[in-house]
Amino acid sequence: MNIVVLVKQVPDSGAERTLSADFSVDRASSSNVINEMDEYAIEEALKIKEAHGGEVTVLTVGPAGATDSIRKALSMGPDKAVHVQDDALHGSCAVATSKVLAAALRTLSPDLILSGAESTDGRVQVVPHMLAELLGVAALTGARKLTVDGSQLTVERQTDEGYEVVTAATPAIVSVWDTINEPRYPSFKGIMAAKKKPVQALTLGDLGISGDEVGFAGATSQVLEFNKRPARTGGAKVVDEGNGGEQLVSYLASEKFV
Amino acid sequence: MTSFVESQERRDLRAAVFQLGSRYGESYFYSAAARGAKTTELWGEAAKAGYLGVSIPEEYGGGGGDIGDLAAVVEELATAGCPLLLLVVSPAIVGTIIARSGTDEQRRRWLPGLATGEARYAFGITEPDAGSNSHQIITRARRDGDDWILNGRKTYISGVDEAGHVLVVGRTEDARTGKLKPALFMVPTGAAGFEYQPIETGLVSPEKQFSLFFDDVRLPADALVGREDAGLDQLFAGLNPERIMAASQATGTARWALRKAVDYAGQRKVWDTPIGAHQAIAHPLAQIHVEVEAARLLTQKAAALDAAGDLLAAGEAANMAKYAAAEAACKAVDQAIQTHGGNGLATEYGLVQALANVRLSRIAPVSREMALNFIAQFSLKLPRSY
């Protein structure tokens, strides 16, 4: 099976994050890492390859510095990578990013596209759906479990209430949550091999996309202002006046912990 | 390392190992120690990723890296709060000696287990009457037909309860001329006539220390590693990695303590500003940071020289690195405790448990004094007193 995993480089969600003066994600002042959810997508791709054979390609759209994340992704085990890099991409919205990813995916003709269900920087969760639309393939999103049987895909789709079982035939795109597996650590051999794996560089020109379709110029949405996240407030206090247990359970239920 | 910056692969390895170690951290390490448990889960995960076998040759299933790669693994685990002592012993000392001095058959027998991390081997050199003076080693082996019969004692041997075999430094009986002619034997921990007893220490570690007793332990001919008359070379092949690893474990522990101190000093307010803003707190930490980085650079130099095959120069650098690293680690833990005030002595903060461990790095695998003797005589050409 020809699998492509979408890997995005994001600012480390564990560190202080902010926006640049132009309201794009500030990538300069924090350390950048693989979007955490994408590591689960890589793991799932590697497991499918190990069980069914095939090839795993990492696809990244991002600036030059994203090569660090591509190398890290390759050290986990994928076979090769494609890096779409172009200065005109700076400031791209989800629609434009999807257009670029779709163009790159057409050059790879994957049976299965895997991605994280969201990125920790943008968190809009729409790119997998947009790609499905642009490529004319099925979208199985928010998976907590994926089963491959020949060309048949079965997904347990995580929802607030429980899960739905959805199926589709390849080619398809599946986005995954962090409940789907436990990503492996890059092995020593994987680390040593990563630098030797092929990374194909593509520009917008290579994909037949003009600069004004992407970046700030082609953005369908515009950030006008932003505010810092409000400081944490004290949580709910439960005072036990005989019904403390009930209050506690109803709080946990309202937060969907029980 | 051909420059003052490690290769990208080495840095990636560090990042991956630190990430794994951080999922465990000092709370895992010290709670295992308190319960009398081992670090089985961490060892298993690190082994699975190939981190424990990085320095074992590829043809035996290892990573094909050098001692610098293994030193990076032990340092990053210690930086994450998990100083695994057996890594210094099993893959580093025993693995290097067998890889460099063992017969083809011995390599095929012993190295694959070290490559996967499934096998663990202890190393026994110190004796009650031959501490730093390994010329006084009296553990001896005599021939009986094709077999060897081993008699003697060892003390302060780490991790024997977790090891399948101990690589024992002895002497062959007819070589008792007073001049050290070490002969190395792989001794199964279950061998008849071999007993070991734990030594109660104040060290807070899942890995324990043991006294070993060999009473007519019968070993097959191939228990002898390498050649009977291999002399010091065979032993030295393992001692450079030992010192490089001990230094790395110490610098890792120093970085761990420094990080805890810095985090605390950045947040703890007694008056209006965090205490880290006060120079009385900040300067000692800055000074220790310099000393740790200096020790790391020396350690990396020693590893690079050892990997390049210049064992003599590596030995000099490894002794200096071990000295500098142990001093930095002792200072770092001491100052981290001072920075924490009373909390520095609370077990919750994990620092007080590290006190004896860093103190150990000043004593073992070679004492500060013997390291300085070596530097005085070898580097400075001063006359020797013993």
Q: What is the pLDDT of residues A119-138, one digit of tens each?
A: 988 888 999 999 999 999 99
Chain A interface disruption, residue of B9, B19, B41, B56, most A CBs within 10 A: B9
- Position B231 scores a pLDDT of 59
| A189: closest chain B residue by CA | B63
**List of residues 6+ apart from B31 with CB closer than 8 A:** B37
pLDDT digits (tens, 9 = 90+) for A53-98: 999 999 999 999 999 999 999 999 999 999 999 999 999 999 999 9
The reply to whether residue A191 touches residue B13, judged by beta carbons under 8 angstroms, is yes
Nearest CB partner across the interface for A186, out of B16, B64, B65? B16
Q: What angle do CA B369, B100, B73 make, to 5 degrees?
A: 65
**ipTM given for this complex:** 0.85
Chain A residues lying within 8 Å of B9, measured CB to CB: 191-192, 194-195
Nearest CB partner across the interface for B19, out of A185, A187, A194? A185
B60 and chain A: CB distance < 8 Å anywhere? no
**List of residues 6+ apart from B255 with CB closer than 8 A:** B75, B78, B79, B292, B332
Which three-class secondary structure string do you get for chain B?
CCCCCCCHHHHHHHHHHHHHHHHHHHHHHHHHHHHCCCCHHHHHHHHHCCCCCCCCCHHHCCCCCCHHHHHHHHHHHHHCCCCCHHHHHHHHHHHHHHHHHCCHHHHHHHHHHHHHCCCCEEEECCECCECCCHHHCCCEEEEECCEEEEEEEEEEEECHHHCCEEEEEEEEHHHCCCCCCEEEEEEECCCCCEEEEECCCCCCCCCCEEEEEEEEEEECHHHEECCCCCCHHHHHHHHHHHHHHHHHHHHHHHHHHHHHHHHHHHHCECCCCEHHHCHHHHHHHHHHHHHHHHHHHHHHHHHHHHHCCCHHHHHHHHHHHHHHHHHHHHHHHHHHHHHHHHHHHCHHHCCCCHHHHHHHHHHCCCCHHHHHHHHHHHHCCCCCCC
| B47: closest chain A residue by CA | A187
- Determine the Cα–Cα distance for residues B296 and A137; give it in Å rounded to an integer: 53
**What token pair was written down for B134?**
């390994």
The number of C-beta contacts closer than 8 angstroms across A and B is 41
CA distance A29 to chain B (A): 19
A91 and chain B: CB distance < 8 Å anywhere? no
- Determine the Cα–Cα distance for residues A254 and A102; give it in Å rounded to an integer: 39
**What token pair was written down for A120?**
């920790």
B54 and chain A: CB distance < 8 Å anywhere? yes
- Position B178 scores a pLDDT of 52
Q: Where are the alpha helices (DSSP H) in chain A?
A: 36-52, 67-76, 94-108, 127-135, 188-194, 244-254
Nearest CB partner across the interface for B13, out of A71, A188, A195? A188
Going by C-alpha positions, the residue among B340, B36, B39 that lies closest to residue B204 is B36
Torsion of CA A43, A49, A51, A53, to 10 degrees: -170
| A196: closest chain B residue by CA | B9
- Determine the Cα–Cα distance for residues A224 and B386; give it in Å rounded to an integer: 79
- Position B366 scores a pLDDT of 92
Nearest CB partner across the interface for B20, out of A185, A192, A194? A185
Chain A residues lying within 8 Å of B16, measured CB to CB: 75, 185-186, 191
Chain B interface disruption, residue of A43, A76, A185, A188, most B CBs within 10 A: A188
- Position B3 scores a pLDDT of 79
The reply to whether residue A71 touches residue B49, judged by beta carbons under 8 angstroms, is no
The reply to whether residue B16 touches residue A192, judged by beta carbons under 8 angstroms, is no
B91 and chain A: CB distance < 8 Å anywhere? no
Mean pLDDT by 10 residues, chain B (386 residues): 83 96 96 95 96 97 96 98 95 94 95 96 92 81 93 96 96 62 91 97 95 98 85 79 97 98 96 96 98 98 95 94 98 98 95 96 94 95 90
B87 and chain A: CB distance < 8 Å anywhere? no
- Position B266 scores a pLDDT of 97
Torsion of CA A18, A22, A24, A30, to 10 degrees: -40
- Position B85 scores a pLDDT of 93
**What token pair was written down for B6?**
């490690």
- Position B370 scores a pLDDT of 93
Contact between residue B335 and residue B285 where contact means Cβ atoms under 8 Å apart: yes
- Position B174 scores a pLDDT of 63
B180 and chain A: CB distance < 8 Å anywhere? no
A195 and chain B: CB distance < 8 Å anywhere? yes
Chain B residues lying within 8 Å of A72, measured CB to CB: 12, 15
Chain B residues lying within 8 Å of A192, measured CB to CB: 9, 63-65
The reply to whether residue A187 touches residue B50, judged by beta carbons under 8 angstroms, is yes
- Determine the Cα–Cα distance for residues A105 and B89; give it in Å rounded to an integer: 50
The reply to whether residue B12 touches residue A191, judged by beta carbons under 8 angstroms, is yes
B21 and chain A: CB distance < 8 Å anywhere? no
A185 and chain B: CB distance < 8 Å anywhere? yes
Torsion of CA B222, B224, B226, B231, to 10 degrees: -160
| A69: closest chain B residue by CA | B12
- Position B385 scores a pLDDT of 85
Chain A residues lying within 8 Å of B60, measured CB to CB: none
In terms of pLDDT, which residue wins out, A79 or A195?
A: A79
Reply yes or no on domain A2-213 having CATH 3.90.79.10: no
Contact between residue A78 and residue A5 where contact means Cβ atoms under 8 Å apart: yes
Q: How far does Cα A12 stand from its chain's mean position?
A: 14
The reply to whether residue A188 touches residue B69, judged by beta carbons under 8 angstroms, is yes
B7 and chain A: CB distance < 8 Å anywhere? no
- Position B114 scores a pLDDT of 97
Q: Determine the average pLDDT of the residues in A8-22.
A: 88
A197 and chain B: CB distance < 8 Å anywhere? no
Chain A residues lying within 8 Å of B63, measured CB to CB: 188-189, 192
Chain B residues lying within 8 Å of A75, measured CB to CB: 12, 16
- Position A13 scores a pLDDT of 85
- Determine the Cα–Cα distance for residues B140 and B175; give it in Å rounded to an integer: 9
Give B159's Cβ-side CA count (13 Å radius): 25
Residue-range domains of chain B with CATH: 8-120 (1.10.540.10), 123-229 (2.40.110.10), 232-379 (1.20.140.10)
The reply to whether residue A188 touches residue B49, judged by beta carbons under 8 angstroms, is yes
**What token pair was written down for B312?**
């003599």
B20 and chain A: CB distance < 8 Å anywhere? yes
Chain B interface disruption, residue of A33, A76, A192, A196, most B CBs within 10 A: A192
The reply to whether residue A192 touches residue B50, judged by beta carbons under 8 angstroms, is no
Specify burial of residue B324 (Cβ count, 10 A radius: 0-12, 13-18, 19+). Answer: buried
